[in-house]
């Protein structure tokens, strides 16, 4: 690719911020192409968490002493940072959870059981991660909620006509779909989905676990009702996730977990929940992890989400050209709007064998069904390999992947 077409992001400079990228694997330089599973961490995130633990750690919201006040301020500053990052108007609408999975389970329990009524329906799509599939199956089994599954087109895009048909009878209470597929890289038309859902009286939840990493998110502009993401894919730590929800919905929902911090009063006869967001944050929260997430958000915001998105578009175009040229390689999904996630199959080679062979030359890719078994049934592959990009991914790494796949084809042949 012509250097003049490269986005304005100094990738080599960015890579210096990630200590692990200097690691050797089997004596080879690490080519990390599994950021969709969990991204690597920049030094600023590691330093922020260590500094917190070394200088100002204490439990939050409970202590009337200096360290607790400092720790509480840092924890709540992280909430404010998430609100700004998502374009949310009120930081109280940001709920910290352990992960995207927990955030979706919270909505399935508190909105699904606490607000929705038996006889209503939830719509998901065929391309969902299990985290946005199984909680609704559990809700369906336990609460008499019908689960409807919208189809995916051959291109890997959501079948909007089928989604509209599933909404037509007005019984759907919630549409829960991914913002970006973790298998196909498909970016769904979230504003259009929200408008369609609302026109039929349904609320909408978007799983942004992949999307927030690759492009700017504005929950108000897309007219979402709920939005979830996880910290560890956004260059932050594990153990911290986010649920954003409209205040009127969060206030109407019952608590998800019981215990410390989610109550304002407890008697022998019952309890009174605390206001949002504390109502949904029972127990000691992930304090240090919230600080790490704040540092990660500041890091990507400092680089600029527009620059990150431009870099990724360049990577996607380059990868599509390079991988399409590899003989016997099938790239899964060809959505017009897609992010830096490529699932593929090489001839008759098993995904795990192919992944192992790539690992021998230092390339880390995912192999299996990527927590999306219904989608793999839909696309007709028992398993696939997946290369997923981060802001530190280079065009040269994609070139190396393509060369390694060509070599692997010769090996398996």
The answer to whether residues 320 and 95 touch, using CB atoms and an 8 Å cutoff, is no
Q: Is the peptide bond before 277 cis (omega within 30 degrees of 0)?
A: yes
Cβ-proximal residues to 276 (8 Å cutoff; 6+ apart), any chain: 92, 93, 95, 247, 250, 251
Packed helices 395-412 and 351-359: angle between N→C axes, nearest 10 degrees: 120
Give the integer Cα–Cα distance in Å for 4 and 7. Answer: 8
Burial 142-159 (b: 16+ CB within 10 A, else e): ebebebbbbbbbeebbbb
Give the integer Cα–Cα distance in Å for 49 and 290. Answer: 9
Give the integer Cα–Cα distance in Å for 321 and 14. Answer: 25
Question: How far out from the chain centre does Cα 380 lie?
Answer: 24
Q: CA torsion, points 319, 322, 327, 329, in degrees to nearest 10?
A: 0
Catalytic pick from 371, 372, 387, 401? 371
Respond yes or no: is residue 371 known to be catalytic: yes
Alpha carbon separation from 94 to 21, 76, 110 (Å, rounded): 32, 10, 15
**275 exposed, middle or buried (CB, 10 Å; 0-12, 13-18, 19+)?**
exposed
Q: Which residues are marked as active site? A: 371
């Amino acid at each position: 690719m012509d250097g003049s077409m490269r986005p304005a992001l100094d990738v080599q400079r960015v890579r210096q911020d990630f200590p692990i990228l200097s690691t050797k694997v089997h004596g080879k330089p690490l080519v990390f192409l599994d950021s969709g599973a969990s991204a690597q961490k920049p030094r600023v995130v590691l330093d922020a968490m260590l500094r917190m633990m070394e200088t100002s750690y204490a439990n939050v919201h409970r202590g009337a002493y200096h360290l607790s006040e400092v720790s509480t301020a840092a924890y709540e500053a992280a909430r404010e940072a998430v609100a700004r990052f998502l374009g949310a108007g009120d930081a109280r609408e940001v709920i910290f959870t352990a992960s995207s999975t927990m955030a979706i389970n919270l909505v399935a329990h508190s909105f699904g059981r606490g607000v929705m009524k038996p006889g209503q329906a939830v719509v998901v799509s065929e391309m969902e991660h299990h985290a946005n599939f199984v909680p609704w199956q559990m809700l369906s089994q336990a609460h008499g909620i019908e689960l409807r599954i919208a189809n995916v087109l051959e291109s890997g895009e959501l079948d909007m006509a089928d989604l509209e048909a599933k909404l037509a009878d007005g019984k759907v209470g919630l549409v829960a779909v991914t913002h970006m597929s973790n298998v196909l890289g498909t970016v769904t038309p979230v504003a259009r989905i929200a408008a369609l859902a609302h026109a039929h009286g349904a609320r909408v939840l978007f799983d942004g676990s992949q999307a927030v990493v690759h492009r700017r998110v504005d929950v108000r502009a897309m007219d979402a009702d709920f939005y979830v993401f996880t910290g560890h894919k956004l260059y932050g730590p594990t153990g911290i996730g986010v649920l954003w929800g409209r205040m009127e919905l969060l206030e109407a929902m019952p608590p998800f977990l019981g215990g410390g911090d989610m109550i304002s009063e407890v008697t022998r006869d019952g309890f009174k929940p605390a206001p949002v967001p504390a109502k949904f944050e029972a127990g000691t929260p992930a304090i240090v992890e919230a600080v790490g997430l704040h540092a990660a958000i500041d890091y990507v915001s400092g680089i600029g989400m527009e620059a990150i998105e431009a870099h990724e578009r360049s990577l996607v175009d380059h990868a599509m050209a390079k991988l399409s040229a590899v003989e016997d390689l099938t790239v899964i999904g060809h959505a017009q709007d897609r992010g830096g996630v490529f699932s593929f199959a090489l001839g008759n080679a098993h995904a795990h064998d192919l992944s192992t062979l790539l690992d021998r030359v230092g390339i880390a890719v995912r192999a299996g069904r990527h927590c999306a078994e219904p989608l793999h049934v839909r696309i007709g592959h028992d398993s696939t390999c997946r290369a997923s990009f981060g802001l530190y991914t280079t065009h040269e790494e994609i070139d190396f992947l393509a060369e390694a796949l060509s070599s692997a084809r010769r090996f398996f042949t």
